[in-house]
């Protein structure tokens, strides 16, 4: 009896199937402009979690035929980014600028036109934060290290800490 009841419960749970009919394809934008760097933007389409994942289905989600522009809002200079293959990025395809270079305090607008729709976003490059302290400590038999950096935010006087763990080869 003790074996039969859990088996029946497990079987009942396995027979249920979740049906998701509300999937809507959306544009996924990952972009950056950093101090002394040019704008870089990767565009993909999201995927329904029930969709079979393969190399072909993933490559079909990379957006290669969009119009991507960056505007420096301080000088009103506008640049159309060029789509190119770059194997250093996850999608291996990105839109890259060449003329507009990021600077601290700069304000930028990103405009995207794809498949008859338009999107835009704005950003700024904040001043660098002061680093108060940085400490490393070994984890997991010295294969991984925790890096703790304490920085001072620009807008407030209270320090805060950022932590990450990584493996070092030497």
Asked whether residue 81 carries a pLDDT value surpassing 70, the answer given is yes
Q: In degrees, to the nearest 5, what angle opens at C-alpha 75 toward C-alphas 123 and 31?
A: 30
In the predicted structure, residue 64 carries a pLDDT above the cut 90: yes
The Cα 32–Cα 121 span in angstroms is 11
Distance CA 40, CA 32 (A): 5
Distance CA 145, CA 140 (A): 8
**Is the model's pLDDT at 5 over the cut of 50?**
no
Query: How far apart (Å, rounded) are the C-alpha atoms in residues 79 and 86?
Result: 20
The yes-or-no verdict on residue 107 having pLDDT over 80 is yes
Mean pLDDT score, 119-143: 80
**According to the model, what pLDDT value does residue 108 have?**
97
CA atoms within 13 A on the CB side of 103: 8
- Asked if residue 1 has pLDDT above 80, the reply is no
Torsion over CA: 48, 81, 70, 126 (sign): positive
Q: What is the pLDDT of residue 91?
A: 87
| Residue 35, pLDDT above cutoff 80 | yes
Per cent of the chain over pLDDT 70 is: 74
Average pLDDT over residues 12-40: 79
Instruction: Report the pLDDT value the prediction gives residue 168, as an integer from 0 to 100.
Output: 54
For residue 118, the model assigns a pLDDT of 96
Report residue 2's pLDDT band, with 50, 70 and 90 as the boundaries. Answer: very low
Instruction: Tell whether the model's pLDDT for residue 142 goes beyond 70.
Output: no
Give the number of C-alpha atoms closer than 13 A to the C-alpha of residue 131, restricted to the C-beta side: 6
The pLDDT assigned to 105 comes to 92
For 101-114, what is the mean pLDDT?
96
């Amino acid at each position: 009896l003790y074996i039969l009841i859990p088996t029946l419960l497990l079987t009942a749970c396995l027979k249920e199937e979740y049906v998701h009919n509300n999937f809507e394809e959306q544009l996924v934008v990952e972009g950056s402009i950093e101090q002394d760097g040019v704008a870089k933007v990767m565009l993909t389409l999201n995927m329904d979690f029930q969709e079979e994942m393969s190399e072909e289905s993933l490559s079909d989600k990379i957006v290669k035929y969009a119009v991507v522009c960056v505007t420096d809002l301080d000088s009103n200079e506008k640049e159309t980014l060029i789509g190119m293959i770059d194997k250093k990025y996850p999608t291996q395809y990105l839109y890259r600028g060449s003329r507009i270079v990021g600077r601290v305090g700069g304000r930028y607008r990103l405009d995207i036109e794809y498949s008859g729709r338009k999107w835009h976003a704005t950003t700024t490059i904040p001043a660098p934060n002061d680093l108060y302290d940085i400490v490393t400590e070994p984890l997991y038999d010295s294969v991984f290290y925790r890096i703790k950096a304490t920085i001072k935010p620009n807008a407030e006087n209270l320090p805060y800490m950022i932590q990450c763990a990584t493996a070092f080869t030497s």
